[in-house]
Amino acid sequence: MLVEVALCLPILIILLIGIIAYGVWLGTASAVQQVANEAARAALAGISSAERGTLVSEAVASGAAGSPLLRADLLHVATAQDGAFYSVAVTYDVAQAPLFAASPVPLPAGSIRRTSVVKLGTL
């Protein structure tokens, strides 16, 4: 009985740590997508490109402050306008996040990038 526990317990502990690490990674990816969505929605209220950029920055800062999984200093935002479409891309540097830096299991990527696109001029 003791031999079986000694063989199985480390494997089960590593499996449990992996499940938790991937769960937190997926939660962080979802939070980054939510921040990108809210920033793109906020951009709809802007009249000029400069005003849209300000609204996006404020929405990203607000979204990061409201999420326990995100650090605002690790978020990078890029915006682009292509005709009537406005896109907001948010990148989160997972490699620098202390929650993931100490992970004993390999995680999918060094950064999480999510994009949201809205159509300007529609109600």
The string of pLDDT tens digits covering residues 16-62 is 988 998 999 999 999 999 999 999 999 998 888 899 999 999 999 99
pLDDT of residue 122: 65
**pLDDT digits 0-9 by tens, 89-99:** 999 998 888 77
Which residues are CB-neighbours of 113 under 8 A, at least 6 positions away? Answer: 32, 89, 90, 91, 92
Q: Given a cut of 80, is residue 86 above it in pLDDT?
A: yes
Which pLDDT band, with edges at 50, 70 and 90, does 123 fall under?
low
Rounded distance between C-alpha atoms, residue 52 and residue 85, angstroms: 13
